[in-house]
Structure 1
Amino acid sequence: MADPAITPATAATTQFDPAADPTAAAEKGHHGVTDPAHTETSHYQAERLRKRANPAPLGLFAFATTTLLFSLINAHPSTSSRNIAVGMSFAFGGLAQFVAGIFEFCVGNTFGMTAFCGYGAFSFAIAISYWPSSGVLTSYAPTPADPYRLNAALGLFLICWFVFTFLLWLASFRSTVGLCALFFFFWLSLLLLAIGFWRNQVGVIKAGGWMGIITSLMAYYVGAHSLLKSEAFPMQLPNPSLVREKEKQH
């Protein structure tokens, strides 16, 4: 989820090193390649790289949309309304996001692969948990002795994902302001939700839901920035890099 669209690995698909790409070298006036067959092959490879799609917008929009739905539910807690999120978690948050992570692997973006595949699996896990046929809800049905069994289990589940998200937030310090802010609000949301469910505090759960809404809006913004940049749209959304220009040159 560095910005999955703005990493050295992703940038390598659109910017070519004349020393490494004979076609780019020829286009820049470097005529060190004399073998026509080699030049034709290099040109074909360069064209393939140029046409490679950027998977980050899909992953970010899938993450944002699924997070927004669950956060709206958490901001107005209702157990029954969570059932509507099962399909979203399976199809968009799970499948689409996991596919985006696989394609981030193809372009060599470790951070994007880890984030999208991880949160895709996260969505799958939530969908399975709330899917009635899975039996999870039945096994955690409230009892007179322990009426909040499900909430306690959700607290444990969410605290594990808080740890995962916190580590990704630390890794995002060398990406962009938008992406770093996204992960900050997300780990804060997960922490509040974990505490709220664990201690059965409705007010804390609602606060976690509102932090999740902010997270989803940040994800939409970063996704839109990535999409508009990939399409060379005339109007670009600002998303400053956290890496200094001197460090980029090295």
Structure 2
Amino acid sequence: MSACNHCNSAAQPPFTSDAGKEAGTAVPHSDFARDSRRSGSMDQLPGLPWGGALQPGVWRPYEHRKLANPAPLGLCGFATSAFVLSCVNLQARGVEAPNIAIPMALIYGGFIQILAGMWEMAVGNTFGATALSSYGGFWMSYGILLSPPWNISSPVNGPYSSDAAQLNSAVGLYLTGWFILTTVLLLCTLRSTVAFVFLFLTLDLAYLFLACESFAKSVGHLALADRLRVAGGVFGILAAFAAWYNALAGLMDDSNSFFKLPVIYMPWSDKAGGLGKKERDVEKQHHA
């Protein structure tokens, strides 16, 4: 039986890529199907928008890709760090000092997520490389901001120690920059999946509320600042679980799970509106 399967596989016509045409080589169909295999159902082929790979639009998997999908690693690093910091913002179990988030921010949310971003660059995913590397930079910079050795936010002998309002305004400007970046990335996800859009939307709102909290504190509106902090913590928790959801979608496949997470596309996405001719041709090659 296995010999027959091998014969049938060998009889399939090769799939020749553009690079292969130039080099005079052909990529076997079986290799292409294997290398473009991703978690979830076959509906994910060929390269449809998908949060599990941080791909916001129709894309074509690398042929003969040697690297695994780095998106789940980066998403988990972000989600875990965001969850811990958001719990502090919500003052869960009476914890108010954010210093517990420093090691998480520097290592898992920062360094590891930057590595995942570089690996996204290696597999040709511009959006994933930009998002993961940027948020890895956020977590590392935020960890440095909170670290006592750097003395940036110290109320005793830091650069803003004599003016708390200036410190809060500076932190507000810092978070506003990340709010703007997240808005830019959010605009790039609007033709993807509901879970993908939800991740960046909740994260965007978390940055917005936390920036407004800092600005409110800078002008003495402490009661308003507390409410904004709680709102930022709630949206941070939602963003963390959305990141975990997309990471799980990227990790699950037929070899390790008995079920698959549902993929709901935005009404105007390429999947919902139907694939174009080019994408249908690639799909035929996958199922030939």
User: One fold, TM greater than 0.5?
Assistant: yes
Indicate how the Cα distance of structure 1 residues 92 and 27 shifts in structure 2: closer, same or farther if over 3 A, else same: closer
CA distance in 1, matches of 2:276, 2:240: 29
Partner of residue 80, structure 2: 65
Q: Is 1:91 aligned with 2:107? A: yes
Secondary structure at the aligned position of 1:240 is classed as: coil
Q: Is 1:202 aligned with 2:258? A: no
Secondary structure at the aligned position of 2:189 is classed as: helix
Structure 1 portions without partners, runs of 5+:
1-16, 29-44
CA distance in 2, matches of 1:131, 1:83: 7
Q: Which amino acid aligns with 2:167?
A: L
CA distance in 1, matches of 2:184, 2:192: 14
Between Structure 1 and Structure 2, which shows a larger proportion of helix residues? 1
Q: Is 1:148 aligned with 2:165? A: yes
Partner of residue 270, structure 2: 244
CA distance in 1, matches of 2:15, 2:121: 25
CA distance in 1, matches of 2:123, 2:199: 22
Q: Is 1:24 aligned with 2:22? A: no
CA distance in 1, matches of 2:90, 2:159: 22
Larger CA deviation: 107-116 vs 169-178:
169-178
Question: What is the RMSD of the two structures over their aligned residues, measured on CA atoms?
Answer: 2.7
Q: 2:142 aligns with which of 116, 126, 137?
A: 126
Aligned 8 A contact 1:86 1:130 in 2: yes
Q: How many residues are treated as equivalent by the alignment?
A: 215
Partner of residue 224, structure 1: 248
Larger CA deviation: 98-107 vs 240-249:
240-249
Aligned 8 A contact 1:177 1:241 in 2: yes
Q: Is 1:116 aligned with 2:120? A: no
With normalisation by structure 1, the TM-score equals 0.77
| Percent pairwise identity | 32
Indicate how the Cα distance of structure 1 residues 230 and 199 shifts in structure 2: closer, same or farther if over 3 A, else same: farther
Secondary structure at the aligned position of 1:52 is classed as: coil
CA distance in 1, matches of 2:168, 2:177: 15
Structure 2 portions without partners, runs of 5+:
1-13, 21-25, 33-61, 218-224, 279-288
Indicate how the Cα distance of structure 1 residues 79 and 198 shifts in structure 2: closer, same or farther if over 3 A, else same: farther
CA distance in 2, matches of 1:114, 1:26: 31
CA distance in 2, matches of 1:80, 1:120: 24
Aligned 8 A contact 1:63 1:119 in 2: yes
Aligned-pair CA distance for 1:173? 1.2
Indicate how the Cα distance of structure 1 residues 212 and 27 shifts in structure 2: closer, same or farther if over 3 A, else same: closer
With normalisation by structure 2, the TM-score equals 0.68
Q: Deviations over 1:28-56 (max 9, x none)?
A: 9xxxxxxxxxxxxxxxx96x52x521101
